[in-house]
Amino acid sequence: MGRTSDVRQKILDAARPLIEGRGYTALGVAEICKAAGVPKGSFYYFFESKEALALAVVDEHWAAQQRDWARALGGDGEPLQRLRRLFEETEAGRLAAQQGCGTVSGCLFGNLTLELSNQAEAVRGRLQEIFDAQVDMVEAVVAEARDRGEITATDTREAAQAVVAQLEGQMMFAKLYNSTGRLSPLWDNCRALLGATGSH
Amino acid sequence: MGRTSDVRQKILDAARPLIEGRGYTALGVAEICKAAGVPKGSFYYFFESKEALALAVVDEHWAAQQRDWARALGGDGEPLQRLRRLFEETEAGRLAAQQGCGTVSGCLFGNLTLELSNQAEAVRGRLQEIFDAQVDMVEAVVAEARDRGEITATDTREAAQAVVAQLEGQMMFAKLYNSTGRLSPLWDNCRALLGATGSH
């Protein structure tokens, strides 16, 4: 079984950067297997379809990102400081990735939303769950800040949605202009969207 | 020549909803010509490549949208009222389109940014020009509002970029959740991003 799960993981590891770089539609199973260094025949032993692979890539990516978000948002410090940490870590992560491969690849979930959500209902459903969970995580911190009287926003759900939308929008422009500098205003924009009253 | 330009326009008219609905990569020239009701052989008489067609679709769509934006932002009324009109018209336009075809297709430029910008430099360059122009148009109105003391934002460029990013981010979620209601908070979000001081 050791070797079996190894092949599955090789396929996943090869697929993620390919999907990030070129999207889902442009990729073929043969190309993914070649990049993974596994026989093409093994693909359908592990994945029912290319869509099933995409879902597995999305799940694995979200599991990792969810841990990062939970660490940033759930650690020590005042709520707005933790939210700020999330944006700073996001920008730093994109910069490190750009220095590795030369390009800003954007957000995997945002990319797949615009490429696929109107074509693959299973992918749409999974991406909805992920963005709902992101909004939940941001909303919890926003509600804390509101209870402490640090922001003027009262509808914490709508405020959290606006913050995540701003993140996706600026991530889109970071990709388009191949510049992580586009992410630098995220914290000031977030403060404005929340109506932050102090100088956190 | 009447008939010639008619064929070119038929191809353009067929291509735009197909690209909006399924993306660029998933489409083939044969399918576009079939939808346009023109012989496949005629395609390369008008377009050098599928990418050239995509650029023509983008240009035509932007020409129409630029007129809409100029009308909304350049008409009578106070600057923030004109900006609000832009968001209201955008939401109304998406709702009408959804009622026609059943789905929210998102923003053609945003879709192509996330699908193509790291793969097709010509498309990336064109989309950069379009988003730069959108930010220019929003910034002109933001600067007017600032000069009238109606907002607290001082960096009008960054504020305009945040407003356009928020629009793209919420448009992404309107597509993902197939709900134009996601666009309803746009004006309140915009007011917050600009630090609007009155009750426009």
B199: in domain: no
| Cβ-based contacts of A161 with chain B (< 8 Å) | 173, 182, 185
Domain tally, chain A: 2
Q: How far apart are CA B57 and CA A154, in angstroms?
A: 42
Let me know whether A25 and A63 are in one domain: no
pLDDT digits (tens, 9 = 90+) for A6-64: 999 999 999 999 999 888 998 999 999 999 999 998 999 999 999 999 999 999 999 99
User: CA-nearest residue of chain B to A184?
Assistant: B158
A74: in domain: yes
Let me know whether A91 and A15 are in one domain: no
How confident is the prediction for chain A on average, in pLDDT?
A: 93
Let me know whether A67 and A10 are in one domain: no
pLDDT digits (tens, 9 = 90+) for B113-132: 998 888 889 999 999 999 99
Q: Of A91, A73, A70, A90, nearest to A82 (Cα)?
A: A73
Between B165 and A116, whose confidence is greater? B165
| CA-based nearest distance B104→chain A, Å | 8
Does A117 score more than 90 pLDDT?
A: no
Q: Of B118, B99, B98, B100, nearest to B171 (Cα)?
A: B98
Q: Cβ of B147: how many Cβ atoms within 10 Å?
A: 11
| Cβ-based contacts of B195 with chain A (< 8 Å) | 192
Look at residue B114 and give its three-state secondary structure: helix
pLDDT at B200: 57
Does B169 score more than 80 pLDDT?
A: yes
Residue B4: pLDDT band (50, 70, 90) is: low
Instruction: Choose, out of A118, A158, A175, the residue to mutate when testing the contact with B (most B CBs < 10 Å).
Output: A118
Does B1 score more than 50 pLDDT?
A: no
The reply to whether residue A175 touches residue B128, judged by beta carbons under 8 angstroms, is: no
Let me know whether A75 and A12 are in one domain: no
B72 Cβ contact partners less than 8 Å away, ≥ 6 residues apart: B82, B85, B86, B89
B167: in domain: yes
The region of weakest confidence among A1-5, B35-39, B63-67 is A1-5
A200: in domain: no
For residue A158, give both structure tokens.
């709508």
Percent of chain A with pLDDT over 90: 81
The ipTM estimated for the assembled molecules is 0.94
Q: What CATH number should be reported for the domain holding residue B144?
A: 1.10.357.10
**Residue B163, CA distances (Å) to A161, B134, B182 in order:** 15, 10, 15
Instruction: Choose, out of B50, B173, B176, B186, the residue to mutate when testing the contact with A (most A CBs < 10 Å).
Output: B176
Let me know whether A160 and A82 are in one domain: yes
Query: Which residue from A169, A178, A192 is facing B168, i.e. has the nearest CB?
Result: A169
| Domain ranges, residue A93 | 51-194
Let me know whether B60 and B131 are in one domain: yes
A102: in domain: yes
Q: How far apart are CA B112 and CA A172, in angstroms?
A: 10
B196, β-bridge pairs: B151
Let me know whether B27 and B86 are in one domain: no
Q: Cβ of A95: how many Cβ atoms within 10 Å?
A: 16
Let me know whether B116 and B36 are in one domain: no
Let me know whether A91 and A174 are in one domain: yes
Does A200 score more than 60 pLDDT?
A: no
